[in-house]
Chains A and B, each alone.
Chain A
Amino acid sequence: MPELKVTPLGAGQDVGRSCILLTMGGKNIMLDCGMHMGYNDERRFPDFSYITDGSLSPFIDCVIISHFHLDHCGALPFMSEMVGYTGPIYMTHPTKAIAPILLEDMRKVSVEKKGEQNFFTSQMIKDCMKKVIAVTLHQSVMVDNDIEIKAYYAGHVLGAAMFWIKVGSQSVVYTGDYNMTPDRHLGAAWIDKCKPDLLISESTYATTIRDSKRCREKDFLKKVHECVDRGGKVLIPVFALGRAQELCILLETYWERMNLKAPIYFALGLTEKANNYYKMFITWTNQKIRKTFVQRNMFDFKHIKAFDRQFIDNPGPMVVFATPGMLHAGLSLQIFKKWAPNENNMIIMPGFCVQGTVGHKILNGAKVVEFENRQVVEVKMAVEYMSFSAHADAKGIMQLIQHCEPMNVMLVHGEAAKMEFLKEKIQQEFNIKCYNPANGETSVITTPVKIPIDVSLSLLKAEAKKFSSLPPDPKRRRTLHGVLVMKDNNVCLMDVDDACKEAGINRHVVRFSSTVHLNDSGPSLATAHKLHGFMKDKLPQWSVTFSEGEISVESVLVKVEGDDDENKNVYVSWTNQDEDLGSYIFNLLNTMSQ
């Protein structure tokens, strides 16, 4: 049986650093190449030495990136330019546009702020992006003669895609991060019934059934409103693209409706640029935005203004969006340090935070945060977590499984304990196998083979004709019988006469005939009718036909001869191919005669 092998180098029972090795039909495919935001050492990047110590090019046939989040593409320049990979990298157009910006942003934070050594350079990001081939949704792309890939809409962020990958008869769907419910600017993930051998799904919210979107939004707005009413400052750490745009739309409309005056700032030079991407890739947003974009650009905000560093110490209430999203570096962390000690203030974490980040610490209730330079910050501000990350929840994951009908499921990009729970549920509900390998652990999945062969149309037509001539019986199986001719490199199934002709040989027909003496008065035709009824009775699964006094079943012929007196000769004849049937009928008649 053919096999599929999957080894997570990251995201195995873990969130962050998605990087999954997939081997199918002798091809090696890397799914995502992310970095772990919670580490500053070598654990930050996937362990490529698992594959080889040298260049990866001979070992990897292609790399597929699901979306622009750094935990899915952050290690790409490291992999291609520093470890060494010259092969193709596939991603959607928006991902190709936005990923290099986020990579450069992260590089700056890491190298310039944190002084990290041995990091990739700006040039490396550019060189890496040159290896990228952009794909469009639903387009079938041949990576080489054997690997075919196709992207499906994943919702999660602008340009996020799920990828269907096919090599030979095997197929896999890798979801990346996805979202099964439409949000303010993106649509819901969609896939057709592609029945892959394996579905590799993220499981960030494996056990969460999120409350309705509307409730979460109301809750969020209420908390922000209360905080600014009491003169507090609200910090919302976000990534430049994605959630940020959704929250901006939300606050903008609320401010408008409630006529609020407290300033909202978006603390990033990227804002306008980021919104430009949304404008140009508007075809990737949801229906409503697409329909109205000519009249009104959803991403031109009236109430939201650019932030200046000096505003940090301004008195009075304000709402600030700042990057990065997990409070692990940069401006959001800087603002946090200033505002954390004041209980009037509030921080809203709108997304998931990986272990090791400040975001993760305070979400786990840390009241004091220590930094590398021994700086200690007391956390008195209110800390709120709002699950705005557009990931599929348990219900969504189950929905996706239902839609695409995989033979096996693998969970990645989630926490081990939560995965176990969902795994049980999937196995029970769908009666299919579910895997959740840890990093470095290989899952081997066997897949059924279906071998395509050519068949002569006349053979199929003859079968169809025969089948439809029988009385309808839902239990009756259709049988196809033919001869496979293997000639040169062609293989074709055809009926035996065509096969002999094609092979240039003569078939030799061997026929057996025997006569049974039967005592039955009356005309021989009447005897034949009786026998026909008798045989139909005895051979319910067969088509027993009667024509011109002769009874036939397959190649077996039964003829009655003799005068109107008692003695009848029943002549039975069959070809060697119907030996079992022929001798059975013969014996049947023989027994009857005695």
Chain B
Amino acid sequence: MKLYCLSNDPNKPCHVLTFREITMMLDCGLSMQSLLNFLPLSFVQSNRLLSLPNWMPNDTSDPDLEGELKENGDRVFVDSPPEFCPPLDKLVDFSQVDVILISNYLCMMALPFVTEGTGFKGRVYATEPTLQIGKLLLEELVIYIEQCPKASFATQWKNFLRKCPYPLNEAFTPKSWKHIYNMTSVNASLSTIQMVGYNEKIDVFGALQVIPASSGFCLGSANWVISTEHEKIVYLSGSSTLTTHPRPMDHHALKNADVLIMTDLTQTPISNPDSMLGVLCVVVGLTLRGGGNVLIPCYPTGVVYDLFECLSGKMQELGVSNCPMFFVSPVADMSLAYSNILAEWLSSVKQNKVYVPDEPFPHAMLVKSNKLKHFKHIYSEGFSTDFQEPCVVFCGHPSLRFGDVVQFIELWGNNPRNCIVFTEPDYDYIEALAPYQPLQIKVAHCAIDTSLNFTQANKLIRDLKPKTLVVPECYTQPPVSAPNLTELVIGNHPDSTLIPYKWGEVINLPLKRKQAQVFVDPNVAQNIIPIEVKPGISLSTITGTLSVKDNVHNIQNTSGDANMNKPVKYEWGSLNITEFLQKLSQEGITDAKVESLGGNVVVIHLQDEDALIQLEENSTHVVCNADEQLRTKLRHIVMQCLKKF
């Protein structure tokens, strides 16, 4: 069994696992850290961005590079449509991938890169919410980028990387970066997805079974259990043990694995999501009361549902409930609607509401009472009439490189009464804000990441007791942001062997399959006569016709052929010479002459016949020429002196 690591970002994972001749991709995450090196896309011309000075390396005067790089503060940005870092395609031929398992909607953004134009012929498995909400995320991303077409594509800068200042000079594999896919690819790619339910047993070519188990991280999120009758591999991706809106994590299914691959742990190892939420509520309250607006860059789904619920309650308490909340995203309406029809994937508290029947999330009520207003874009019909300050705006994209958030920063950035609150953990907020500096707007960092932190992950490993634990190498060292906090690692667990992996590596996983399963027909089973050879150990031979269909082995009766049906027995133990000679004489053979050849080898000559028997500890050789009657008699006697099973 081999594991290929194709993504550099443990939170946007992509692996390939080969096992029992099946090539299986585990998640299809798209690393978007590359975005931070690009200038924001604005659909109304931003004079500020347009007037940024060009940047050129000191000793270079390449005219082709002219205008590709812009400078703001101490940062250099690429002035071009943003590019993304897709999974490594050098290690595995995507046309050979049989199955892709998707854990959650945040781990499928690279799917069109893998399934389209690569010759991919396999199947993709994901839960219904993963497909539906993932579709919204993919659509949103495409719309955001396509609505701001750029006249030119910068290409030369990649040849001058080493001369660029930090962090551009340290950008990860920029030559492999790609422009975004289009809607046609998105739709084609999504059509390869087959929807599955939690705990649904999915057969993969008869060779393996895969089961998605609830992971508690977001709507429809799953961990995958890959098993045969004898092996169990668990792939653990975005998981949460906190109580928010999704169905709780199913631990039981993950226990006692031979191999546990663990990835997508928290990106905010130092902070706690509950206290972050508390800070967020305070910041929003203070800002609104001070007459300022709150801008929350976010994805159109996920924690944002909890924020609507929590903030509306808090705003009521603080007496600022007259301030509206705006949710602006090309897929805002779809996201709100879908979240309320996926009750079967929610926590039991939310689920029980539909039995009343009430909508599981209060945002349907908030929309009805006009406390929450949703629009596709800020230029959508009705937005300008409904827009009222102070207010809270939720909009994308969290990288601040495209989406309506770009306009809101332009609008509110120079007023220190306003506040921008970072809740999504995917991007470094300082980097995200860099192209907009200097800004007057207040900045609050309340990243809410509900995925497992290191304490929770280590506890989980102790509970699950995997034989082998496979984690990204970066989890075995303290986080770069806190090198002294040595407890923030996946430590050594006495019951588990730890194997770290890195991007681009191929890991051999210690899973030596020794056994398989066969189904024995009752007629065959009837012929099983166990013979106890030692206390507690019995043996019996089995012979039957083997039929193999879809990798399932059956043993049936060898019908018809009488020869084949005769049970074959095996002799064991040693032959006692005295007993053998006795039996010989009982049968009238009295001329036996025993000759010892040394060692344990003894030869018995039957002098009157043309026959001899050579006896060793573990073998008997009857040499008898031409006289079948005699040979049969000798055989009979030898058999009497040996044990059989």
B355: A residues at CB distance < 8 A: 96-97, 100
Contact B354 A93 (CB under 8 A): yes
B516: A residues at CB distance < 8 A: 454-457, 460
Chain A nearest CB: distance from B376 CB in Å? 12
Contact A508 B620 (CB under 8 A): yes
Is residue A258 within 8 Å, beta carbon to beta carbon, of the partner chain? no
Contact A577 B617 (CB under 8 A): no
Contact of A590 among B534, B623, B626 (CB under 8 A): B626
A493: B residues at CB distance < 8 A: 518, 542
A488: B residues at CB distance < 8 A: 536
Inter-chain CA distance A509–B568, complex, in Å, is 13
| Nearest opposing residue in chain B for A273, CB measure | B357
Is residue A215 within 8 Å, beta carbon to beta carbon, of the partner chain? no
A442: B residues at CB distance < 8 A: none
Q: Count of A-B contacts with CB under 8 A? A: 236
Name the residue among A276, A488, A492 with the largest chain B CB count within 10 angstroms.
Answer: A276
B343: A residues at CB distance < 8 A: 93, 280-281
Inter-chain CA distance A467–B198, complex, in Å, is 40
Inter-chain CA distance A255–B245, complex, in Å, is 42
Contact A486 B645 (CB under 8 A): no
Is residue A145 within 8 Å, beta carbon to beta carbon, of the partner chain? no
Contact of B558 among A96, A453, A477 (CB under 8 A): A477
Inter-chain CA distance A488–B360, complex, in Å, is 52
Contact A450 B623 (CB under 8 A): no
Contact of B539 among A477, A484, A510, A576 (CB under 8 A): A484
Inter-chain CA distance A580–B635, complex, in Å, is 12
| Nearest opposing residue in chain A for B627, CB measure | A514
Is residue B310 within 8 Å, beta carbon to beta carbon, of the partner chain? no
Task: Bin the interface of chain A by size.
Answer: 35 or more
Contact of A457 among B515, B540, B617, B639 (CB under 8 A): B515
B639: A residues at CB distance < 8 A: 510, 576
Q: How many residues of B contact A (CB 8 A)?
A: 85
| Nearest opposing residue in chain A for B338, CB measure | A294
Contact B635 A508 (CB under 8 A): no
Contact B357 A277 (CB under 8 A): yes
Contact B534 A505 (CB under 8 A): yes
Contact A480 B344 (CB under 8 A): no
Contact B200 A453 (CB under 8 A): no
Inter-chain CA distance A480–B555, complex, in Å, is 7
Inter-chain CA distance A493–B524, complex, in Å, is 13
Contact B571 A576 (CB under 8 A): yes
> Contacts A139-B197, A294-B334, A509-B571 hold; do A455 and B620 have CB atoms under 8 A apart?
no
Chain A nearest CB: distance from B502 CB in Å? 31
Chain A nearest CB: distance from B271 CB in Å? 34
B518: A residues at CB distance < 8 A: 452-453, 455, 460, 480, 493
Contact B229 A580 (CB under 8 A): no
Chain B nearest CB: distance from A467 CB in Å? 8
The digit string for B532-565, where 1 denotes a CB below 8 A from any CB of A, is 0110111111111111100001110010000110
B333: A residues at CB distance < 8 A: 294
Contact of B515 among A281, A451, A492 (CB under 8 A): A492
| Nearest opposing residue in chain B for A280, CB measure | B354
Chain B nearest CB: distance from A76 CB in Å? 16
Inter-chain CA distance A587–B631, complex, in Å, is 13
A458: B residues at CB distance < 8 A: 514
Chain A nearest CB: distance from B374 CB in Å? 11
* Stretch of B159-167, B396-404, B572-580, B582-590 with 4 or more beta carbons under 8 angstroms from chain A: B572-580
Inter-chain CA distance A563–B536, complex, in Å, is 56
Name the residue among A139, A276, A504, A587 with the largest chain B CB count within 10 angstroms.
Answer: A139
| Nearest opposing residue in chain B for A511, CB measure | B621
Is residue A443 within 8 Å, beta carbon to beta carbon, of the partner chain? no
Inter-chain CA distance A150–B351, complex, in Å, is 20
Is residue A530 within 8 Å, beta carbon to beta carbon, of the partner chain? no
Chain B nearest CB: distance from A162 CB in Å? 15
Contact B540 A483 (CB under 8 A): yes
B566: A residues at CB distance < 8 A: 580
> Contacts A452-B229, A455-B517 hold; do A136 and B642 have CB atoms under 8 A apart?
no
Is residue B368 within 8 Å, beta carbon to beta carbon, of the partner chain? no
Is residue B279 within 8 Å, beta carbon to beta carbon, of the partner chain? no
Contact of A512 among B342, B515, B525, B624 (CB under 8 A): B624
Contact B515 A481 (CB under 8 A): no
A492: B residues at CB distance < 8 A: 515
B546: A residues at CB distance < 8 A: 463, 477-480
Is residue B230 within 8 Å, beta carbon to beta carbon, of the partner chain? yes
Contact B342 A456 (CB under 8 A): no
Is residue A282 within 8 Å, beta carbon to beta carbon, of the partner chain? yes
> Contacts A450-B519, A510-B620 hold; do A457 and B575 have CB atoms under 8 A apart?
no
Inter-chain CA distance A580–B569, complex, in Å, is 13
Inter-chain CA distance A84–B543, complex, in Å, is 52
Inter-chain CA distance A30–B602, complex, in Å, is 71
Is residue A22 within 8 Å, beta carbon to beta carbon, of the partner chain? no
Contact B623 A1 (CB under 8 A): no
Inter-chain CA distance A276–B547, complex, in Å, is 53
Inter-chain CA distance A580–B638, complex, in Å, is 16
Contact B628 A587 (CB under 8 A): yes
Is residue A534 within 8 Å, beta carbon to beta carbon, of the partner chain? no
Is residue B600 within 8 Å, beta carbon to beta carbon, of the partner chain? no
The digit string for A476-516, where 1 denotes a CB below 8 A from any CB of B, is 01111111111110001100100110011111111111111
A486: B residues at CB distance < 8 A: 530, 537-540
B554: A residues at CB distance < 8 A: 450
Contact A294 B539 (CB under 8 A): no
Is residue A213 within 8 Å, beta carbon to beta carbon, of the partner chain? no
Is residue A137 within 8 Å, beta carbon to beta carbon, of the partner chain? yes
| Nearest opposing residue in chain A for B129, CB measure | A283
Chain A nearest CB: distance from B181 CB in Å? 22
Chain A nearest CB: distance from B605 CB in Å? 15
Is residue A536 within 8 Å, beta carbon to beta carbon, of the partner chain? no
Is residue B528 within 8 Å, beta carbon to beta carbon, of the partner chain? yes
The A-contacting residues of B in range 288-322, CB under 8 angstroms, are: none
Contact A454 B230 (CB under 8 A): yes
A512: B residues at CB distance < 8 A: 621-624, 631, 635
Is residue B201 within 8 Å, beta carbon to beta carbon, of the partner chain? yes
What are 6 A-B pairs at a CB distance below 8 A? A136-B197, A460-B553, A480-B546, A482-B541, A486-B530, A514-B631
Top 6 closest A-B pairs, CB basis? A480-B546, A450-B519, A478-B546, A138-B200, A508-B571, A486-B538
Question: Interface residues, chain B, CB within 8 Å of chain A?
Answer: 128, 196-201, 211, 229-230, 333-334, 337-338, 340-344, 351, 354-355, 357, 359-360, 513-522, 525, 528, 530, 533-534, 536-548, 553-555, 558, 563-564, 566, 568-575, 617-626, 628, 631, 635, 638-639, 642, 645
Beyond the given pairs A460-B516, A484-B528, A510-B635, 20 more chain A to chain B contacts, judged by CB atoms under 8 angstroms and listed by A's residue number, are: A93-B344, A97-B355, A150-B200, A273-B357, A280-B360, A448-B521, A450-B522, A452-B519, A460-B553, A477-B545, A479-B564, A484-B539, A486-B538, A488-B536, A506-B574, A507-B571, A512-B621, A512-B623, A515-B626, A579-B635
